[in-house]
Structures are given as C-alpha cells and as structure tokens.
C-alpha cells in the first residue's frame, strides 16, 4: 500500500484563460475545473488510477465539501476530523501553459488535530510499503512537523518514506538530518537550491548541463537521504543515488497546465518502484507522468493511457 499524507488539503479551482493574463484588465474564462486536491491527494489519485492500493490521509471536517467530493471520487481515504474547513486555492492557466497559483494558508484549528493526524499516519504506515509526506503544512502546525513525524515512523515501520515539501518544512527536514532522512526526496530546482545553497541549477539544466544539480543532490545523499528526484521543468528530471545519477528528458508536448505535474512525477516514481523496476525506469516513469500532467488542462491528472514511456530518454550522468 502507498499511504499519502496531505497535511494541508485544498479545494483547487483552476481557471483557464483563452488569452494571456494582463493585470488590471477584464478577462473571459475559457473553462473552470474544481477538484478536491493537495499534493498527497494528487499522488494518491495517480497511483490509484495506475492500479495500486492506496490510502489518502488528511484533516477535514466530516461534512466538508472536500471530504464529500473525495468520497464521490472513490479514492480510498481517511479523514481526521478538524475544526476549520478545508482551504480553497485558485490557479490561473494561460494558453501557453503559464500557471499562476494563489494559495490560502489553511489551518486545522487545534493542536490536538495535528496530534491525531500524526498518530494516524504512524498507525496506518505499519501496513504500507511507501509513505508519501506531501505539500505545505497548515498555518497552525509547527514547521518541524514532517521532521518529527519521519523520526517517529522510523521507530514503527519499515515503509520507505518520500517527502515533497518546500520552504520552512523542507528546511526543517534537512536541518534534522540524518534522523529525518527520507528514502526519497523530491525537490524542484528552486527547492534544491534552497536546501543546498547552490544557484542557477535550472538554468544550467536548460542548457544541457546537469552536473551542478547532481553535485547539489549528492550533498544530501552524503547527509543520509536515500535518493533525490529533482524535477527541472522543461529540461526534465534528475535522479541521484549513492552510486549514480541519471538524466531523463521529456517528450515534446504542448503545455496546458503545470498543476499536479510534480505530484504526478512523484506518483510515477512510486508506481515504478512498487513494480520493482530499477532506478532508471523509475525516473522514466516519473518524467512520463509529469509530462503527461503538463499536457492536460486544469487540474486533470494523468492515467496510464496518457503515458508515452518510449518518448522519455534516460541516460546515465558521467561521474
């Protein structure tokens, strides 16, 4: 089973424009999409649609529109009753795929909810093969929530742990290494720069030079992280382990929305890992899923029918 935690879930409304966004002007909406989302929920959706056993865990009032919508979707889930309603986020997409996100901070309203949430993760993780801790934390959570949770998980389960977060929660995970070291860390280029102090990684990758990103990722491996999956925008992605690095370049696509692309990439890796595929193929699946998400409008997430695995090129990076 893949267990995902979405500590700060959201109702995601995506507005698709038929022309570029111009501040201060009136625009016409081409389409709107509403989805019960959040990074962990997105990972669970993609993995579930790929045929895997999943459980999406999150805080939400029992009759919140978020929980009702997720129940209607059929996705296996467990909601921890919270005091505050689930936040609503807004995403604006333009015809060229440019995506503008406006996110609410969110909150659960009580420290007791967060305690129950952490306890539920630890309990459900006993039967999991992977635990994915994804997304931001609610405003009333301590920023070291993920770091402490990883430490607790290591005491009770052999499940492998994946982390995809940013800003202070990510910095706290790194600050508490090696005790908080995940088996898989999935930063984008900006996040990898934030936690390693390196700069210009995405620009270098865009020009075909992946060595700086690989070098930065290896500093995290040296501190205890198992594997680093770095997404590098249109340049593709980089997978770094203790023994090697591989680069994957995506197929040519017409971008429509980047919503859920990183979540889909993480799900693709987990799908391949669950099938026992080697690291290069895990990277191939990650990039295929992430690219497929970018080619879909709004909040739509890819299924196996959207994949073009043969169009993803994976090559080892010279030491």
pLDDT value of position 275:
97
DSSP strand pairing (99-102 vs 245-249): unpaired
3-state secondary structure of 10: strand
pLDDT in tens, 222-255: 999 999 999 998 899 999 999 999 999 998 888 8
Euclidean distance between CA atoms 300 and 168, whole angstroms: 28
The tokens for 210 are 């992946």
Q: Which one from 49, 144, 164, 263 is the annotated catalytic residue?
A: 263
pLDDT value of position 256:
79
Euclidean distance between CA atoms 234 and 255, whole angstroms: 10
Predicted confidence pLDDT, tens digits, the chain (319 residues): 999 999 999 988 888 898 999 989 899 898 887 888 899 999 999 999 999 999 999 999 988 989 988 888 889 999 999 989 999 888 898 888 888 988 888 888 888 999 999 999 999 999 999 999 999 999 999 999 999 999 999 999 999 999 999 999 999 999 999 999 999 999 999 999 999 999 999 899 989 999 999 999 999 999 999 999 999 988 999 999 999 999 999 988 888 777 789 999 999 999 999 999 999 999 999 999 999 998 887 778 999 999 999 999 999 997 6
Strand order, beta sheet including 29-37: 29-37, 10-17, 87-93, 99-102
34 is catalytic: no
pTM summary value: 0.91
pLDDT in tens, 76-130: 999 999 989 999 888 898 888 888 988 888 888 888 999 999 999 999 999 999 9
Matching residue, tokens 């992946």: 210
DSSP states along 51-63? T--EEEEEE--TT
Domains of the chain as residue ranges with CATH? 2-316 (3.40.1190.20)
Give me the phi and psi of 223, to 5 degrees please.
-95, 5
CB 270 within 8 A of CB 43: yes
pLDDT value of position 107:
86
pLDDT value of position 18:
87
- In terms of C-beta distances under 8 Å and separation of at least 24 residues, what long-range contacts does 209-212 make, across chains too? 210/235, 210/238, 210/245, 210/247, 210/317, 211/317
């Amino acid at each position: 089973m893949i267990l995902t935690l979405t500590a700060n879930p959201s109702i995601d409304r995506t507005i698709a424009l038929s022309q570029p966004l111009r501040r201060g002007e009136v625009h016409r909406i081409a389409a709107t999409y509403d989805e019960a989302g959040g990074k962990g929920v997105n990972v669970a959706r993609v993995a579930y649609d790929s045929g895997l056993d999943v459980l999406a865990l999150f805080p939400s009032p029992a009759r919140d529109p978020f929980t009702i919508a997720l129940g209607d979707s059929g996705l296996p889930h467990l909601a921890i009753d919270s005091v505050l309603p689930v936040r609503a986020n807004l995403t604006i997409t333009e015809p060229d795929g440019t995506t503008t996100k406006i996110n609410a901070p969110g909150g659960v309203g009580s420290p007791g909810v967060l305690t129950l949430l952490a306890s539920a993760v630890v309990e459900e993780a006993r039967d999991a093969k992977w635990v994915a801790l994804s997304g931001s934390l609610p405003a009333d959570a301590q920023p070291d929530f993920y770091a402490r949770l990883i430490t607790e998980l290591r005491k009770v389960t052999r499940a492998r742990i994946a982390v995809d977060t940013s800003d202070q929660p990510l910095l706290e995970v790194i600050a508490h290494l090696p005790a908080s070291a995940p088996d898989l860390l999935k930063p984008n280029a900006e996040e990898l720069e934030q936690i390693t102090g390196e700069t210009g990684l995405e620009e270098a990758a865009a020009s075909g030079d992946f060595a700086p990103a690989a070098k930065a990722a290896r500093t995290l491996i040296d501190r205890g992280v198992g594997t680093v999956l770095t997404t590098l925008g249109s340049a593709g992605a980089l997978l770094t382990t203790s023994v090697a690095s591989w680069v994957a370049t995506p197929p040519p696509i017409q971008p429509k929305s980047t919503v859920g692309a990183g979540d889909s990439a993480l799900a693709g890796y987990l799908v391949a890992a669950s099938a026992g595929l080697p690291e290069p193929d895990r990277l191939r699946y990650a990039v295929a899923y992430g690219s497929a998400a970018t080619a879909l409008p709004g909040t739509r997430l890819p299924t196996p029918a959207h994949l073009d695995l043969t169009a993803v090129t994976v090559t080892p990076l010279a030491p």
